[in-house]
Amino acid sequence: MVTIAGCGTRGDGEAASQRFELGELHGVDVGGVFVLQAQRSSDRLVELQGDANLLPLVELDVQGGVLRARTRTSTFPQLPMVLVVHTPELREVELSGAARGEIAGLSGESFALGVSGASEARVAGEVVRFTLDVSGASQVEAAGLV
């Protein structure tokens, strides 16, 4: 692992992944440089992909049914830091910093999306009510949402 004092940790370029099985999950909150790939599925599974030396720096925790993903320190990935989430129900997603999100297969009564900073989101599926909160230089494509 290479650490530059005061500047963060640079990725080593060696691809690695970790899988986690989670209980009840209806939301995701991602900050930083993550790429979120979320989709509705009968599985309850989370997979983290990226530089092998950066994966241990990622903190994942679930509070109130919402999965939070953050890094403990500043990181400079060589490979995309991808968080793949499969869950039967997805009602809310928050993206902040420079996070990107691909959210597919939505269905149900409602879905809330919040994007801030320089985040980007692409959303597809079918929901009755869609709530959107955008700030900063964020971008949202919801043409696939009906």
In a domain, 136, yes or no: yes
146 assigned to some structural domain = no
- Tell the residue number behind the tokens 């696939």, with chain if given: 144
Task: Walk along the chain (146 residues) in steps of 10 and give the mean pLDDT of each run.
Answer: 64 97 91 94 93 96 95 94 95 97 94 97 95 96 85
pLDDT value for 1: 47
Structure tokens at 62: 């679930």
Report d(CA 92, CA 76) in Å as an integer: 27
Residue 61 lies in a domain: yes
pTM (predicted TM-score): 0.91
Dihedral angle, C-alpha 91, 96, 100, 104, nearest 10 °: 0
Q: What is the CATH number of the domain that holds 56?
A: 2.160.20.120
Q: Which domain holds residue 12?
A: 2-141
Count of structural domains within the chain: 1
